[in-house]
Amino acid sequence: MLRSLMNDRAGCVIGFDDASDHLRARDVLARANYSEEGLRGALGSADLLGMRELDIPPALRRTRAGTTLHTLIRLFFLGVPVEVDAARRAVHPMPLESWVGANLLGFRDGQVAPLVKLLPYRGLLLAADMPAKIWIGAPDDFVLGLGKSSELLAHTVVPRRARRTLDLGTGSGVLALLASPHSDQVYATDKSPRAAAFAHFNARLNGINNVQCLTGELFEPVAGLRFDLIVSNPPYVIAPVARYLFRDSGVRGDEFCRQLMRVAASFLEEGGYCQLLGNWAHGAGQSWQDPLASWFEGTGCDVLVWGAHTEDASSYATTWIRQTEADYLNRLPQLYDTWMSYYEREGIEAVTYGLITMRRSSGRANWVRFIKVPTGSTAPGGGHVLRLFELQDFLESTPDDRLLDHRFRLAPEVRLEQRYASDAGGFSPVTTRLHLAEEPAYHTMEVDATVTTLVMGFHGERRLREVLEAMAAEMQVEVDHLVPAGLAAVRHLLQKGYLLPGSVPDSGEPLRASAG
């Protein structure tokens, strides 16, 4: 069994000696409603991932009644010691000593203190190190729990059946565990033995048997294997020194992310997908996508790059200093100078955060598409990601002369909204926009009257030529006059996902066996 050293109890391991106690512990938590619903109700907060230090006093007040759920929340969510008798009642009918022996709890100053955080998420229970340890100087193998970045990646993972899935740099194992229901076998790898041990414990705690946790550098533990799906939230931060395994690669600039993309492509089955989060640096005069110009050449992959927000070097430095450096307020001038001096030496003026999805498609010319996501926009869902790949395939393979005779229909999520302003005659439309319900806000686009008429012409499934002929008759112009602009508009509508050809499903691909 994989073992892990706890921060403050050298030589101790995480996990119950009796394997069946993992499921007994889960039952204890389930009976108390230690779940997303239970925690949100008890804490009065919908955002369990957004808990900050200032939120703890109100949370303590809301959990002062001393119910079993309140005690468990104080221990495993808020990280607060409780009285021994209260802890013993909370884990009943299991003996408190078994939780102590498993290094989930420890005796301290006559009380019981938590050694891990347990986060309920999408039906799972996920153990990781207590976040507060960062502020007092955690070791470099600190195991980070589920954060906003992993949640984003989990949301965008393509919903396909996979024979083999790889979660590279698994951390506490959340992406591996989420992939297990639609994978025959999941490999969860990490450079840190501690992280792999936490992932192994979480798999046992959740009764998941098709996740194998391995320790080693990058792809070394799975050499010789190919995967239908690779997911990774790697150590992508561009930092002056390697401080934490979860944050820093120890490789100069963004070279780690670049090499990771290229190597990952060689581990994909034909038709397999790789989805990774990353950071890339740009210098003076570069746009956000310029640094990626050569990243994907020769990989044999089609690529979609979502560029999320871009931060100037100063903002980027302060963001990561504030989030990951111990006692940063007292050390801020020194830390800031160290980070900024590094960026100046490397010629880094800004850094972009992004999501990169690659699909192995060898034997032909590959395409790369860049999408800039406005700040605050939601991430694309996995089904939407699959749809965009299929639509781009269609556009790449269909010349204009064939496009006219294809049948198209509106995607069922399309919404058309008009805003009106008052004038002397009443109200007149001033803006018309298209968007996809429950999909990323960056897909919103304003359209003119001609494009609005074109979109409204696709009631049911119709050939583009028929729609343009009907528009020409209504406008009393020759159809050839509308064709060039109509083709351009339809290509744009297809690329955005507003129009669908007959070959593309309504809502992305269902779970199915991948090709290759």
pLDDT of residue 14: 93
Please list the residues that pair with 189 across neighbouring strands.
168, 214
pLDDT-derived band of residue 80, with 50, 70 and 90 as boundaries? very high
CA atoms within 13 Å, Cβ hemisphere of 54: 1
- Collapsing DSSP to helix, strand or coil, 98 comes out as helix
3-state helix, strand, coil in the chain (%, to 5): 40, 25, 35
Write out the H or E segment, with its range, that includes residue 275: strand 268-282
**Could you read off the pLDDT of 209-222 as tens digits, one per residue?**
999 999 999 999 99
Q: In angstroms, rounded to a whole number, what is the distance separating the alpha carbons of residues 175 and 180?
A: 9
In sequence order, which residues have a C-beta less than 8 Å from that of residue 399 and are 6 or more positions away? none
Rounded to the nearest integer, the mean pLDDT of the chain is 89
Question: Average pLDDT for residues 85-106, to the nearest whole number?
Answer: 96
Would you say residue 101 has pLDDT above 50? Answer: yes
Q: Are 88 and 81 in contact (CB under 8 A)?
A: no
Higher pLDDT, 193 or 509: 193
**Could you read off the pLDDT of 282-323 as tens digits, one per residue?**
998 899 999 998 999 999 999 999 988 899 999 999 999 988
pLDDT of residue 512: 36
Give the β-pairing of 162-168 and 124-128: unpaired
Q: In angstroms, rounded to a whole number, what is the distance separating the alpha carbons of residues 247 and 379?
A: 22
**Could you read off the pLDDT of 498-514 as tens digits, one per residue?**
899 977 766 544 333 33
**Can you list the domains of the chain with their CATH numbers?**
21-136 (no CATH), 159-306+353-395 (3.40.50.150), 398-501 (3.90.930)
**Could you read off the pLDDT of 144-154 as tens digits, one per residue?**
899 888 998 99
pLDDT of residue 212: 97
Phi, psi of 232 (to 5 degrees): -160, 130
pLDDT of residue 441: 57
pLDDT of residue 210: 97
**Could you read off the pLDDT of 1-34 as tens digits, one per residue?**
233 333 333 334 799 999 999 999 999 999 999 9
Would you say residue 492 has pLDDT above 50? Answer: yes
One-letter amino acid identity for 425? G
**Could you read off the pLDDT of 313-353 as tens digits, one per residue?**
999 999 999 888 888 888 999 999 999 999 999 999 999 99
Would you say residue 449 has pLDDT above 70? Answer: yes
pLDDT-derived band of residue 438, with 50, 70 and 90 as boundaries? low
Q: In angstroms, rounded to a whole number, what is the distance separating the alpha carbons of residues 209 and 207?
A: 6
Would you say residue 276 has pLDDT above 90? Answer: yes
One-letter amino acid identity for 37? E
pLDDT of residue 10: 34
Please list the residues that pair with 152 across neighbouring strands.
none
